[in-house]
Amino acid sequence: MPTTVGAIRKLRSDGRKTVVNARIKRALRLAVGKFKKTKTAKNLVEVYRRADRAAKSGVIKKGRADRIKGRLTRMVATKKLK
């Protein structure tokens, strides 16, 4: 357990940030899953939004967000979106 006042505050802050980051990551995972189930333009836009937001907040790196978006876009490149 932390002993200094600053370390106690940091522990509290880290706990809050962990919850927020997990929520952002889960939203991205759900959006990707929803897109894979039904490949529509609306779902693809939602994945882009979630990936960019996760990268902006530092939950995932920008390159990973780009890879996710690129792979999903490639999945539908040959298939026409509804």
pLDDT digits (tens, 9 = 90+) for 2-12: 999 999 999 99
Whether the pLDDT of residue 42 is over 70: the answer is yes
Q: What is the amino acid identity at position 56? A: K
CATH of region 5-77, choose from 3.30.390.10, 3.30.70.270, 1.20.58.110, 3.30.360.10? 1.20.58.110
Per-residue pLDDT at 82: 55
pLDDT given at position 76: 83
The residue among 52, 73, 74 whose CA lies nearest residue 64 is 52
d(CA 61, CA 72): 17
The whole-angstrom separation of Cα 58 and Cα 15 is: 16
Name every residue whose Cβ is closer than 8 Å to that of residue 43 and which is 6 or more positions away in sequence.
Answer: 31, 34, 35
User: 4: burial class by Cβ within 10 Å (0-12, 13-18, 19+)?
Assistant: exposed
